[in-house]
């Protein structure tokens, strides 16, 4: 069963803890080879990972999902199907390309964090706003500091070799160019025209030319374009918008899980103690935390991608349940889930352009604000990473499960579901 709760005004999908691979003997083609062997013979496939010998299983097995690095929540939230190195099919080719890009992004993010911290320290050393002094101090540090780490030292050397006079803007644009180079590389491998997608987005914002943007500004367009393309393999644009209301969101979640981008600076996630639910009958269940609004209303640059797996409608307001890619996940243990009020969810929700949905409540054409899974595979779940902060006690949840409105509604829902999955199977074509 794909749900813990599936009622008219409340739905919570089931996602077991850990991560699962479709990396089995059958998927690798080994079982097909056994047909050529004498009766009663069998083959095994063993490989080395992290210095250990691992034998490929005949069935999907769950594994612990270790911490993600580099803040690439767009990847952790979207990635709910794993194929693995021995899976035979085009899906594995796409997975490898995207995984390579994810690893490069992680490296770039770590370098950016180190450079940004150094630039902040550097600016604190300046006693005035004379930009020419940036180059003087940079030159002095290169010649006289033996303790500089590799990333700051390279940043300073490249700054000195350039014609720039402001280290802050130099670092920002340099980081933007590095990200765009990585995006152009993965776009070529995926046969995706990212330049065309970026140009369309720039035109929609009324900007006459990409030359009018700095490298830092332009890289944000490239970033959104490639993420949306990568998501398109497993997700499609949802037609839901807050103007349609909570019940419409519940019906959308009943079809599949959803991806959403939120302003992470406006919420406190994970303080206090969680409430444990759905652990009866041998189920792993969920460990549910409340999400609270921050004391100070201050939007920031930190956005975050989450996976919506449930919602409920109450008399006054309601709740939305989501998986946060900042949470670790282990097999056969309760998965960490977060519960946010529906009104607060709409307040922090961002659209496809990274803008608050409040800006489009009266629009003639609504922007995309959610992305719906094309097909739900609850045996193969997304990766996750350790939570960053803040937990709060969650109230009790009614775990009674019920059908939809009545038997006829249930049958109609199942027929619609089967038809949709069949149409998606027929239309699916990897863009490789």
- Shared-domain flag, residues 364 and 344: yes
Buried b (16+ CB within 10 A) or exposed e, 235-266: beebebbbeeebeebbbbbbbbbbbbbbbbbb
- Shared-domain flag, residues 195 and 243: no
Please write the tens of the pLDDT for every residue from 374-402.
876 543 333 232 222 332 333 333 333 33
- Asked whether residue 387 is domain-assigned, the answer is no
The whole-number average pLDDT for the span 395-420 is 40
pLDDT on residue 259: 96
- Asked whether residue 283 is domain-assigned, the answer is yes
pLDDT on residue 380: 35
- CA neighbours within 13 Å on the CB side: how many for 47? 12
pLDDT bin (cut points 50, 70, 90) of residue 80 is: low
Structural domain of residue 176, as residue ranges?
90-232
- Shared-domain flag, residues 228 and 248: no
* pLDDT over 90 at 372, yes or no: yes
How far is Cα 106 from Cα 108, in angstroms, rounded to an integer? 6
Lowest mean pLDDT among 80-94, 106-120, 135-149, 230-244: 80-94
φ, ψ of residue 214 to 5 degrees: the values are -75, 165
- Shared-domain flag, residues 122 and 217: yes
The whole-number average pLDDT for the span 46-70 is 71
Q: Do the Cβ atoms of 369 and 350 come closer than 8 Å?
A: yes
pLDDT on residue 169: 94
pLDDT on residue 76: 81
The H or E element that residue 217 is part of is helix 215-231
How far is Cα 74 from Cα 260, in angstroms, rounded to an integer? 10
The domain boundary residue, chosen from 232, 249, 268: 232
- Which tops the pLDDT comparison, 264 or 89? 264
How far is Cα 325 from Cα 327, in angstroms, rounded to an integer? 5
- Asked whether residue 52 is domain-assigned, the answer is no
Please write the tens of the pLDDT for every residue from 2-28.
899 999 999 999 998 887 777 777 766
pLDDT on residue 281: 85
* Residues 6+ away with beta carbon under 8 Å from 268: 291, 292, 293, 294, 389, 390, 392
Residue 371's DSSP bridge partners are 237, 259
Please write the tens of the pLDDT for every residue from 337-367.
999 999 999 999 999 999 999 888 888 889 9
- Asked whether residue 412 is domain-assigned, the answer is no
pLDDT bin (cut points 50, 70, 90) of residue 300 is: low
Please write the tens of the pLDDT for every residue from 166-201.
999 999 999 999 999 999 999 999 999 999 999 999
* pLDDT over 80 at 130, yes or no: no
- Which tops the pLDDT comparison, 298 or 361? 361
- Which long-range contacts link 148-152 to residues 24+ away (Cβ below 8 Å)? 149/114, 151/111, 151/114, 151/115, 151/118, 152/114, 152/115, 152/118
- Asked whether residue 256 is domain-assigned, the answer is yes
The domain boundary residue, chosen from 353, 373, 393: 373
- Shared-domain flag, residues 295 and 214: no
CA distances for 390 relative to 6, 360, 384, 387, angstroms = 29, 31, 17, 9
**Could you tell me the pTM of the whole model?**
0.78
- Asked whether residue 424 is domain-assigned, the answer is no
> How many residues belong to the chain?
432
- Asked whether residue 369 is domain-assigned, the answer is yes
Please write the tens of the pLDDT for every residue from 237-296.
999 999 999 999 999 999 999 999 999 889 998 877 999 999 988 889 999 999 999 887
- Which tops the pLDDT comparison, 126 or 213? 213
In 3D, which of 24, 63, 59 has the Cα closest to residue 45? 24
Q: DSSP letter for 329, please.
A: B
- Shared-domain flag, residues 265 and 335: yes
pLDDT on residue 27: 66
pLDDT on residue 74: 85
- Shared-domain flag, residues 204 and 130: yes
pLDDT bin (cut points 50, 70, 90) of residue 86 is: confident
Helix (H, G, I), strand (E, B) or coil at 92: helix
pLDDT bin (cut points 50, 70, 90) of residue 78 is: confident
- Which tops the pLDDT comparison, 123 or 372? 372
User: For the chain, what percent of residues have pLDDT higher than 90?
Assistant: 49
- Shared-domain flag, residues 247 and 308: yes
- Shared-domain flag, residues 186 and 288: no
Count of structural domains within the chain: 2
- Shared-domain flag, residues 224 and 245: no
- Asked whether residue 58 is domain-assigned, the answer is no
The domain boundary residue, chosen from 326, 348, 373: 373
Q: Rg of the chain's alpha carbons, rounded to an integer?
A: 24
- Shared-domain flag, residues 188 and 171: yes
pLDDT on residue 126: 72
How far is Cα 267 from Cα 258, in angstroms, rounded to an integer? 19
Q: Do the Cβ atoms of 109 and 385 come closer than 8 Å?
A: no
- Shared-domain flag, residues 280 and 324: yes
Query: Of the spans 29-33, 149-153, 376-380, which averages the highest pLDDT?
Result: 149-153
pLDDT on residue 412: 45
């Amino acid at each position: 069963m794909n749900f813990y709760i599936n009622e008219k005004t409340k739905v919570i999908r089931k996602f077991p803890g850990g991560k699962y691979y479709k990396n089995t003997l059958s998927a690798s083609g080994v079982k097909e080879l056994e047909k050529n062997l004498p009766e009663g013979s069998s083959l095994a496939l063993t490989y080395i990972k992290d210095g250990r010998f691992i034998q490929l299983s005949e069935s999907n097995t769950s594994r612990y999902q270790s911490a993600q690095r580099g803040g690439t929540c767009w990847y952790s939230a979207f990635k709910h199907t794993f194929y693995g190195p021995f899976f035979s099919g085009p899906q594995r080719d796409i997975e490898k390309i995207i995984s390579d890009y994810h690893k490069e992004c992680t490296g770039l993010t770590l370098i950016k964090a180190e450079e940004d911290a150094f630039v902040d320290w550097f600016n604190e050393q300046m006693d005035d706003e004379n930009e020419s002094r940036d180059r003087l101090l940079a030159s002095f540090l290169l010649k006289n500091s033996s303790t500089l780490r590799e990333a700051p030292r390279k940043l300073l050397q490249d700054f000195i070799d350039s014609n720039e006079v402001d280290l802050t803007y130099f670092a920002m644009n340099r980081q933007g160019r590095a990200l765009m180079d990585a995006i152009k590389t993965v776009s070529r491998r995926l046969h995706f025209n990212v330049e065309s997608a970026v140009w369309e987005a720039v035109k929609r914002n009324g900007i006459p030319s990409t030359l009018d943007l700095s490298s830092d500004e332009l890289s944000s367009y490239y970033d959104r374009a490639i993420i949306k393309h990568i998501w398109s393999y497993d997700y499609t644009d949802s037609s839901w918008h807050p103007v349609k209301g909570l019940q419409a969101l519940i019906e959308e979640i009943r079809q599949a899980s959803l991806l959403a981008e939120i302003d992470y600076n406006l919420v406190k996630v994970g303080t206090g103690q969680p409430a444990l639910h759905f652990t009866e009958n041998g189920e792993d269940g969920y460990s549910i935390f409340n999400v609270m609004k921050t004391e100070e209303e201050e939007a920031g640059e930190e956005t975050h991608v989450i996976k919506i797996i449930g919602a409920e409608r109450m008399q006054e307001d309601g709740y939305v349940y989501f998986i946060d890619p900042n949470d670790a996940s282990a097999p056969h243990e309760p998965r960490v889930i977060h519960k946010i009020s529906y009104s607060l969810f709409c307040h922090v929700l961002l659209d496809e352009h990274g803008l608050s949905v409040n800006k489009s409540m009266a629009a003639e054409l609504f922007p995309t604000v959610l992305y719906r899974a094309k097909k739900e595979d609850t045996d193969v779940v997304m990766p996750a990473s350790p939570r960053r902060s803040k937990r709060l006690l969650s109230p009790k949840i009614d775990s009674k499960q019920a059908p939809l409105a009545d038997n006829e509604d249930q049958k109609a829902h199942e027929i619609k579901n089967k038809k949709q999955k069949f149409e998606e199977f027929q239309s699916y074509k990897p863009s490789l």
